[in-house]
Every structure is written in C-alpha cells, then in structure tokens.
Amino acid sequence: MKRLTRPQNVLDELDYNTQRADILLGEYGRNVQDMVASLPRIQDRETRSRYAAAIVQVMGVLNPPVYRDQADYKHKLWDHLHIMGKFCLDIETPFPVPSPEIVAAKPQEIPYIKNRIAYRYYGKQMERYLQRVSEMPDGGEKNMYTSLLGSFMKSSCKSWNDENVSDQAIVDHMNELSDNKLNLVYDGQEYSLDMSRSGKSVNPLIKDKKPGSKNKKKKFFKRK
C-alpha cells in the first residue's frame, strides 16, 4: 500500500514583507529597489548603464511632484539610484557618485531661540515694535503707531485672558516693554504722552474728544 505524504502548507510558500530586505527609499517602492538590485547581475557595463538610465526615468514618474520644481531634480534621482544600489553600481552617470559619509551625515543642529518673552500673548515682535516706536521723534506719526500697537495689545489680552484688561495695565505694559522710553501716562480717561517728553499732550490710543462734545447716537430707519 502506497504511503500518503503530508500535504505542504500553502502558507509556507508565501513571501512576506517581514522576510524581505528593508526599503531604503519608500517613495519609489519595492519594485524599483528590486530593479536596482538586479543591475549588478548584468555583465555588460554599457547595457547596465542603459538599464540604470531607464530606471531613473521610472523613478521620475514615481517621485513626489515636490522634487520636480527643484533645479537639481535629475541630480537627486541619480543620487537616490546610488543609495538604493548601496553605492556599489558600476555604471556611467551624468553626475558624480555621492559618498556614503555625505549622505549619512546629520544636518547641522539649529539652536533653539532662548529669548525671554515678557508677555507671551504679545509676542517678541511687539517688544521690538515698541522699541522702534520709542526711538521715533515725537509727533503725529509716533502717536499713530502707538495707537495701533496699544489697540493690538488690548485685543491680544482679550483673546488669551478670560478677564478684561484695564487701560492702565496696557499703559504699564507698553512702558515696561519699551524700557520706559515711551513715557505714556494715564489719567483715568485717556492716554497721552508724557508732557516732559512731548510738546503736545495727545491721545495715542483713542481719539481725542473735544470738551463739551457728546456722543451722538446713530439713528436707524426702517428700510422702505
């Protein structure tokens, strides 16, 4: 009687990605990497170089569009070809072969900015703006810029803080961030430049009101 053989497990014949080599450049896929790996098996150098140029054209189709706008787009493709070939490809290339040391080199570390920000909801640029405005000569232009910066600072406080900021706090912050060069004063109703620095006492943050003037309410009429 013939002895029955044990059937071979079908799963044993399957090829899993975990058993394959790692993909060096994921944007091109495994098929391109397998084509590059097959180049050293071609004996003729001219034929091998021609096949390499064809693979580079395929890589140009599969490559992300972001690289195509760069001036050295073709150079990058050939560099990627050598990276997938582990820098062992003996082919004719229009560009010099990159060295593994340069490719594996880490980029230069960019130091983190450690400038202290007095009030984060204003930002570092606000401090610089106030410094520049404090150096301007007294006049209408300086008052206009001071008004714009004060309004922005007040809106920033309302955006990042639950409580409404007082006008006196805005004046104090502006003087503090400008190293007391602005010399803004607050009389409880309006802001003005310090009389000791400015020839005129003007209101840089809100419009001046003429004495005795009253706010007129707008009248709304029903549309006909």
Give the model's pLDDT for residue 142: 87
Closest CA to 26 of 54, 74, 52, 63: 63
Residue 114 binned pLDDT confidence (cut-offs 50, 70, 90)? confident
Domain definitions of the chain by residue range = 22-104, 124-193
- Rounded Cα distance between 68 and 26, Å, is 17
In sequence order, what are the residues at sequence separation of 6 or more whose Cβ sits closer than 8 angstroms to the Cβ of residue 204? 142, 143, 144, 146, 147, 150, 184, 191, 192, 193
| Whether residue 36 has pLDDT greater than 90 | yes
What percent of the chain stands above pLDDT 90?
A: 21
Of the candidate ranges 43-57, 133-147, 156-170, 178-192, the one whose mean pLDDT is the lowest: 178-192
Please name which of 49, 43, 44, 46 lies closest in space to residue 85, comparing C-alpha atoms: 49
Question: Could you give phi then psi for residue 192, rounded to 5 degrees?
Answer: -155, 155
Q: Given a cut of 80, is residue 105 above it in pLDDT?
A: yes
Task: Give the per-residue pLDDT at 69.
Answer: 66
Tokens of 194: 């310090």
3 state SS for 57-111: HHHHHHCCHHHHHCCCHHHHHHHHHHHHCCCCCCCCCCCCCCCHHHHHCCCCCCC
With 0-12 / 13-18 / 19 or more C-beta atoms within 10 angstroms meaning exposed / middle / buried, residue 13 is exposed
Strand partners, 192: 185
C-alpha distances in angstroms, 102 versus 75, 87, 91, 108? 15, 12, 20, 12
Q: Which of 26-30, 72-76, 115-119, 183-187 has the lowest mean pLDDT?
A: 183-187
